[in-house]
């Protein structure tokens, strides 16, 4: 009942309920209380099997040893698919691997289809991979029935400042479409990758100018700032650039 307690106390059971019905109701509640932990333990054990398998896959990738993958595969795993997987994604140059579950589908008969996100590092470079995996139970443990690439992101780099060189800058300019950044006086540090310079840390006194050419963008900027052109001073900035465009975007002669 929603509201106050009836006069004379609260009786949760109707008067016409017999003792037999009450006993049956109590038994059902007790059965539910016993079954719930059992179901939770089963789901937990199934999740634990997946977690252990993914942890072992991380270790196998980091080992760089092709045989390290064998104990994780079921007899159903296609050998041609395994050779293709090793050729494309297995390398002794791997220094770190992280495997995370993104999604799963219960296929029945204790088979689980997984979508995995994988980050593989090779010293200062890396790859981001998406795999689809079918898993099952074999001899008391979870194993892979298949591993298939769905997508990949290549050319990742761990950015670090080149601490061996600090540049003094005067009237250093960074130019892009509708954008100028001028460091009147300060210091510049470079981030290098195998392809060249891909980032700069700029410290000092300077000004950033944004002047969009399209009239619609000018009106939007005027609504936002009260002026169709945005100028703002800065004391520090981080700039990313494609290595192939570094010499086109930066006035390198201003660095000493």
pLDDT digits (tens, 9 = 90+) for 50-92: 999 999 999 999 988 878 889 999 999 998 888 888 887 778 8
Among 103, 125, 157, the domain boundary falls at 157
Domain extent at residue 66: 42-157
**Structurally, how many domains does the chain consist of?**
2
The predicted pLDDT at position 203 comes to 95
The predicted pLDDT at position 93 comes to 87
Can you tell me the mean pLDDT for 124-137?
93
Among 138, 157, 176, the domain boundary falls at 157
Taking 60 as the threshold, does the pLDDT of residue 103 lie above it?
yes
Among 96, 125, 157, the domain boundary falls at 157
The predicted pLDDT at position 145 comes to 96
Compute the mean pLDDT over every residue in the chain, rounded to the nearest whole number: 81
Q: Which of 45, 69, 70 is nearest to 140 (CA)?
A: 45
The predicted pLDDT at position 12 comes to 43
Taking 80 as the threshold, does the pLDDT of residue 106 lie above it?
yes
Write down the pTM of the prediction.
0.63
Is 73 a member of any domain?
A: yes
Is the pLDDT higher at 237 or at 37?
A: 237
Same domain, 115 and 186: no
Is 103 a member of any domain?
A: yes
Same domain, 153 and 179: no
């Amino acid at each position: 009942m929603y509201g106050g307690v009836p006069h004379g106390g609260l009786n949760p059971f109707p008067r016409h309920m017999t003792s037999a019905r009450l006993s049956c109701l109590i038994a059902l509640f007790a059965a539910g209380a016993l079954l719930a932990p059992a179901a939770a333990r089963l789901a937990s054990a199934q999740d634990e099997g997946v977690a252990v398998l993914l942890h072992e896959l991380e270790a196998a990738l980091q080992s760089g040893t092709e045989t390290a993958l064998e104990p994780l595969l079921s007899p159903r795993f296609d050998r041609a698919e395994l050779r293709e997987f090793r050729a494309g994604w297995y390398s002794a140059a791997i220094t770190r691997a992280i495997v995370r579950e993104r999604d799963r589908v219960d296929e029945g008969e204790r088979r689980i289809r997984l979508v995995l996100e994988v980050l593989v590092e090779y010293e200062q470079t890396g790859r981001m991979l998406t795999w689809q995996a079918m898993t099952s139970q074999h001899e008391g443990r979870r194993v892979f029935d298949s591993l298939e690439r769905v997508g990949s992101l290549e050319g990742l780099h761990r950015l670090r400042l080149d601490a061996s060189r600090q540049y003094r800058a005067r009237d250093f300019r960074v130019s892009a479409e509708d954008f100028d950044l001028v460091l009147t006086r300060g210091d510049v540090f470079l981030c290098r990758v195998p392809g060249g310079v891909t980032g700069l840390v700029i410290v000092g006194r300077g000004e950033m100018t944004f002047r969009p050419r399209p009239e619609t963008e000018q009106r939007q900027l005027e609504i936002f700032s009260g002026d169709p052109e945005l100028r703002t001073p800065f004391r520090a900035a981080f700039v990313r650039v494609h290595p192939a465009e570094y010499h086109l975007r930066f006035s390198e002669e201003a660095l000493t």
